[in-house]
């Protein structure tokens, strides 16, 4: 229908602009343009497809008022726009309908955009290990971001492959090649959250032959968000015991304890409206500073405060729980649910 084609057009524009922002990572002008295009596109889709219910409008209004106070007090306009893009996306995608051909196209486009960027990143190796990465403009890219982009490219490729109509043997062969290629990128990135997500994904594939029901998937989401907070507390507790653990070749306590401890202290005085991401916190023992909390819920609290964070969790939960709208193929659902492990670390 005309509505489906218009939705597809706006989503295509968003994917392309996001791809450009990755290609020119660190270029503030392109990042701002990409944020504005995404914001306007998803807002338009919500309005055109009558997704804005009274309850949703009320929640968005409350989040808008809270983040407006954050912006006036501390700034952080880009982070606020990004927050609403994520909320809009969670509201939009479960309620849009596309043909299988259009879904294959979106999977393929996303996989291509990510793969091209991964190939074009300049990879600097030292002593056989990936030391750092540079973008087209020469800006440095975090290894963890490279690992997560590789994981997403793998997931989109597998989702596209699962929807294609080709012989099973050929599909398996292509799947193995795709896994080896992106798996290698995830391995050299040393991104533990991406490695854990990949392990969970394959455990789902091995032991779960059908997708989870909407109610079960929503419980997994709540479990992930709840345990991610408990994990931070337990992590900080273990750090006080001077324990040394190695996971995937890295010390368990590799800097997160400094960030989380300092963010927790900061939230004692910025619990309601956050900081807009404008107050740096200590990242490592040597005193390096960062404005990233390296944890999804802590990042939301750190930037926006309690109210937008609670609304984000609720919208995420509802998007998954509404099984009538959250009808996705097995591979796609497992990719989404396995990726939840990332909220513990990024």
Supply the mean pLDDT for the chain.
85
CA atoms lying within 13 Å on the CB side of residue 59: 19
Report the C-alpha gap between 127 and 70 in whole angstroms.
Answer: 45
Report the C-alpha gap between 252 and 215 in whole angstroms.
Answer: 33
Q: Which residues contact 276 (CB under 8 A, 6 or more apart)?
A: 70, 71, 73, 74, 75, 76, 79, 80, 303, 304
pLDDT of residue 47: 86
Residue by residue, DSSP assigns 169-217 as: HHHHHHHHHHHHHHHHHHHHHT-HHHHHHHHHHHHHHHH-SSPPPHHHH
Measured CA to CA in angstroms, residue 247 lies from 144, 190, 193, 253, 345 at distances of 15, 10, 11, 10, 13
With contact defined as beta carbons under 8 Å apart, do 223 and 313 qualify? Answer: no
State the pTM of this model: 0.90
The string of pLDDT tens digits covering residues 133-147 is 888 777 888 888 899
Residues of the chain with pLDDT > 70, as a percent, come to 89
With contact defined as beta carbons under 8 Å apart, do 214 and 175 qualify? Answer: no
The string of pLDDT tens digits covering residues 246-274 is 665 666 556 677 788 888 888 888 888 98
pLDDT of residue 286: 56
pLDDT of residue 246: 62
Higher-confidence residue: 317 or 322? 317
How does residue 4 score in pLDDT terms, banded at 50, 70 and 90? confident
User: Which is nearest to 47 in space by CA: 37, 35, 57, 55?
Assistant: 57
**Per DSSP, what are the bridge partners of residue 141?**
133
pLDDT of residue 265: 85
The string of pLDDT tens digits covering residues 199-233 is 999 999 999 888 888 778 888 888 998 998 888 88
The string of pLDDT tens digits covering residues 145-204 is 899 999 999 999 999 998 888 888 898 899 999 999 999 999 888 888 899 999 999 999
Q: DSSP assignment, residue 343?
A: G
Given a cut of 70, is residue 288 above it in pLDDT? no
User: Which is nearest to 342 in space by CA: 222, 195, 169?
Assistant: 195
**Phi (first) and psi of residue 214, to 5 degrees:** -55, -40
pLDDT of residue 182: 95
Report the C-alpha gap between 108 and 309 in whole angstroms.
Answer: 32
Q: DSSP assignment, residue 248?
A: T
The stretch 16-25 carries a mean pLDDT of: 91
With contact defined as beta carbons under 8 Å apart, do 305 and 274 qualify? Answer: yes
With contact defined as beta carbons under 8 Å apart, do 258 and 252 qualify? Answer: no
pLDDT of residue 177: 93
């Amino acid at each position: 229908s005309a509505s489906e084609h218009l939705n597809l057009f706006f989503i295509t524009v968003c994917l392309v602009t996001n791809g450009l922002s990755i290609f020119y990572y660190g270029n503030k002008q392109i990042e701002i343009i990409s944020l504005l295009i995404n914001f306007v596109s998803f807002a338009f889709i919500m309005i055109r497809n009558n997704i804005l219910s009274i309850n949703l409008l009320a929640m968005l209004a409350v989040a808008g008022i809270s983040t407006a106070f954050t912006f006036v007090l501390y700034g952080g306009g880009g982070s606020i726009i990004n927050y609403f893009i994520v909320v809009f996306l969670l509201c939009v995608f479960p309620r849009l309908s596309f043909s299988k051909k259009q879904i294959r196209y979106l999977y393929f486009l996303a996989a291509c955009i990510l793969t091209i960027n991964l190939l074009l990143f300049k990879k600097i190796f030292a002593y056989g290990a990936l030391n750092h990465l540079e973008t087209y403009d020469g800006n440095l890219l975090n290894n963890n971001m490279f690992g997560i982009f590789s994981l997403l490219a793998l997931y989109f490729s597998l989702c596209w492959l699962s929807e294609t109509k080709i012989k099973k043997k050929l599909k398996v062969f292509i799947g193995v090649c795709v896994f080896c290629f992106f798996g290698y990128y995830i391995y050299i990135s040393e991104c533990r959250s991406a490695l854990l997500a990949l392990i969970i994904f394959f455990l789902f594939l091995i032991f779960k032959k059908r997708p989870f029901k909407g109610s079960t998937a929503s419980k997994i989401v709540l479990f992930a968000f709840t345990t991610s907070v408990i994990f931070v507390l337990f992590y900080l507790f273990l750090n006080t015991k001077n324990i040394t653990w190695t996971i995937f070749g890295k010390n368990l306590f590799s800097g997160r304890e400094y960030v989380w401890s300092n963010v927790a202290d900061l939230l004692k005085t910025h619990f309601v409206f956050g900081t807009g991401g404008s107050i740096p916190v200590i990242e490592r023992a040597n005193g390096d500073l960062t404005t990233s909390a390296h944890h999804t819920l802590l990042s939301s609290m750190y930037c926006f405060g309690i109210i937008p964070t609670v609304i984000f969790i609720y919208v995420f939960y509802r998007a998954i729980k509404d099984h009538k709208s959250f009808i996705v193929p097995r591979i796609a659902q497992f990719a989404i649910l396995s990726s939840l492990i990332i909220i513990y670390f990024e």
